[in-house]
Amino acid sequence: MKQFFSYYRPYKLLFTIDFASAVFVGLLELLFPVIVSYFIDGLLPSGNWKWIILASIGLLLVYLINTFMQFVVTYWGHMLGTNIERDIRNDLFTHIQNLSYSYFDNTKTGKLLTRLTNDLMNIGEMAHHGPEDLFIAVMTLLGAFGIMFWINPQLAVISFIIVPLILVIAIYFNKKMTIAFRELFGRVSDFNHLIEDKIGGIRLVQAFANEDKEIAAFRKLNDAFRLTKLKAYKIMSFNNSSTYMLMRFVTVFILIAGAYFVMNDKISYGEFAAFILMSNILFKPLEKINAVFVGPSGAGKTTLTALLPRFYDVNMGQITIDGIDIRDLQLKSLREHIGTVQQDVFLFAGTLRENVAYGKLDATDEEIYEALEKAQLKELVDSYPRGLDTVVGERGVKLSGGQKQRISIARMFLKNPPILILDEATSALDTETEVHIQNALNKLSVGRTTLIIAHRLATIKNADRIMVVTKDGIVETGTHESLLKNSEGIYRALHDAQFNTL
């Protein structure tokens, strides 16, 4: 809660104006029954139309002020909630950027989308309504009871007896609603994940003619979402119906008991009217309180290299750069000095310029073209009518696999880091293009530390040190020539298989 309330700090003035306006609105609402009582008991018997008209005009002015205050609470209050929602979303997105690979391995994208959208919208609403509603609810409860007690202590106490019962019912159902709505939000998360996953893979679905299977899976989840939502609404309905009936019971009781007090001259007609109006005000905060508180593939080569930029952290031992444990380095600085070309290329749905320049955000067009040339892409870009402004489509759908991978390589050329990680960087390229890029990579690797993951031995045969990784870990290490001398070794077997020398 301390962390949550810290988000109010930049908006102290906005919060103060909103809160003060809400309190003012609450006080005017309490004042209205008192004015009605005076109107009926004081002004009506006098028959003085001048004072009646002046009192009515005064009441109208109060309503105008109240209307303005209501606007402030509604608009500026929601501005406060929206500002806090934005700030939390910024911090959450920043936090997501710094999470480890293991988190994303075990977390659905749909869950993150729900956190960033639906959940934060609810938090934004609570940021606006929570503090003021809670304070005004308590203020109104005490204020209404105080005025009712002033009018008639006996009737006030009898009327107030039902309040604790309403609160007990509200707390009971709110616990059930919390469980139900958590399940509902979980369904929303699954829902978002399914949509993101299936739409993202629509080409694969259509390629295998599995549309019926995916439609059936969607409908199953959609039905489960519906049932969970109905369960939550059922509990909400029991809650609202129970409290509504109890509140109406109190109203009827006040009518009967109040009529008895009027007939026995214990309260006046105006006081009786004020008491009825005040009882309705008494129930409003209860309703608000009720509404708030809601090697071989898979051997681990990629994971191994992901330890260096700390996408995963080591469980034991240490990794050092120039003798310094990477956990002692600033994470941002560490990653800025490492360039990674991954096997699974991701492109944003923007232009070629935006995607290549992601390696260096302030890069000039000349620098971008130079990187594209090294990645064997300049001629392709020149062939497009819009050049660097060509839109690549979502996830680079308008480009071939080889072209996407070359854009990823161009990013790395542009970044020009002292440490390179090439994860199957040329696996999607044709042989001729691979030779050209390999020559460029060899030049770029001079004077740098380069980690290369590859199944094609031609890609790594010039490496200073080769490690063969299986599910059992690193099983062989050495240079290309030394590993070939072991006729029983895995590296030799891979070499023979690829070059048909068995």
Supply angle C-alpha 342, 494, 491, rounded to 5. Answer: 90
The answer, as to whether pTM is greater than 0.85, is: no
Tokens, residue 218: 């969607």
The length of the chain is 502
Nearest residue to 73 (alpha-carbon basis) of 32, 127, 25, 30: 25
Quick count: other Cβ atoms within 10 Å of Cβ 31?
15
Structural domain total, the chain = 3
Task: With a cut of 70, say whether residue 295 has pLDDT above it.
Answer: no
Quick count: other Cβ atoms within 10 Å of Cβ 164?
9
Q: Label residue 502 by pLDDT band (50, 70, 90).
A: very low
Q: Looking at 248, 266, 284, which one is the last position of a domain?
A: 266
Q: Label residue 427 by pLDDT band (50, 70, 90).
A: low
Q: What is the mean pLDDT of residues 272-293?
A: 70
Tokens, residue 488: 């029983």
Q: Looking at 266, 290, 325, which one is the last position of a domain?
A: 266
Which residue has 């895995």 as its token pair?
Answer: 490
Are residues 124 and 213 located together in one domain of the fold? no
**What angle do the packed helices 120-151 and 77-97 form, to 10 degrees?**
150
Q: Label residue 478 by pLDDT band (50, 70, 90).
A: confident
Amino acid 430: pLDDT: 64
> Is residue 502 in some structural domain?
no
Amino acid 431: pLDDT: 66
Are residues 456 and 322 located together in one domain of the fold? yes
Are residues 89 and 69 located together in one domain of the fold? yes
Amino acid 45: pLDDT: 78
> Domain with 123 in it: what CATH number?
1.20.1560.10
Residue 62's domain comprises: 1-150
Q: Label residue 499 by pLDDT band (50, 70, 90).
A: low
Nearest residue to 186 (alpha-carbon basis) of 135, 144, 232, 140: 232
Are residues 95 and 163 located together in one domain of the fold? no
> Is residue 20 in some structural domain?
yes
Are residues 346 and 219 located together in one domain of the fold? no
State the Cα–Cα distance between residues 489 and 478, nearest whole angstrom.
12
> Is residue 336 in some structural domain?
yes
Are residues 213 and 320 located together in one domain of the fold? no
> Is residue 283 in some structural domain?
no
Per-residue pLDDT reduced to its tens digit, 316-365: 888 888 889 988 988 888 888 888 777 667 777 778 888 888 888 888 88
Amino acid 294: pLDDT: 39
Are residues 139 and 1 located together in one domain of the fold? yes
Tokens, residue 135: 């304070």
Are residues 138 and 169 located together in one domain of the fold? no
Are residues 146 and 157 located together in one domain of the fold? no
> Domain with 347 in it: what CATH number?
3.40.50.300
Per-residue pLDDT reduced to its tens digit, 125-143: 777 777 777 777 778 778 8
Per-residue pLDDT reduced to its tens digit, 197-206: 777 777 777 7
Are residues 337 and 430 located together in one domain of the fold? yes
> Is residue 296 in some structural domain?
no
Q: Looking at 113, 130, 150, which one is the last position of a domain?
A: 150
> Is residue 293 in some structural domain?
no
* DSSP-assigned letters across all residues of 381-427: HHHSTTGGG-B--GGGTTS-HHHHHHHHHHHHHHH--SEEEEESTTT
State the Cα–Cα distance between residues 54 and 75, nearest whole angstrom.
32
**What angle do the packed helices 153-160 and 120-151 form, to 10 degrees?**
150
> Is residue 55 in some structural domain?
yes
Task: With a cut of 70, say whether residue 302 has pLDDT above it.
Answer: no
Are residues 157 and 146 located together in one domain of the fold? no
More confident residue, 3 or 291: 3
> Is residue 313 in some structural domain?
yes
State the Cα–Cα distance between residues 472 and 299, nearest whole angstrom.
8
Q: Name the most confidently modeled range: 111-115, 241-245, 367-371.
A: 367-371
Are residues 116 and 175 located together in one domain of the fold? no
